Amino acid sequence: MKISARNQLKGTVVEVNHGAVNSEIVVELPGGAHLVSIITKTSAEDLGLAPGKAVYAVIKASNVMLATE
């Protein structure tokens, strides 16, 4: 697979929480950090996402917002 996005993080699915429409997928990255993605339930099922499955988190955004209090 070739993709234009430069931010590609390989990890392992550690948790899948299905809702009625969307699914929350928790991915563990090398070093132990966790990344959470919300995708459609249909996409999660089509990809066969389940704990232990190797995945790539592909991040393509023109803005990343940060805030402090």
pTM of the model: 0.85
Number of domains composing the chain: 1
Closest CA to 41 of 15, 26, 22: 22
Q: What is the pLDDT of residues 5-56, one digit of tens each?
A: 888 999 999 999 999 999 999 999 999 999 999 999 999 999 999 999 999 9
- Whether residue 48 lies inside any domain: the answer is yes
Residues 6+ apart with CB under 8 A from 50: 13, 16
Cβ atoms within 10 Å, residue 40: 12
Residue 63 pLDDT > 80: no
Alpha-carbon gap, residue 12 to 66, rounded angstroms = 26
More confident residue, 16 or 60: 16
- Whether residue 33 lies inside any domain: the answer is yes
Domain that holds residue 50: 7-59
- Whether residue 68 lies inside any domain: the answer is no
The CA-based dihedral angle spanning residues 4, 66, 19, 45, taken in that order and rounded to the nearest 10 degrees: 20
What local confidence, expressed as pLDDT, does residue 16 receive?
Answer: 98
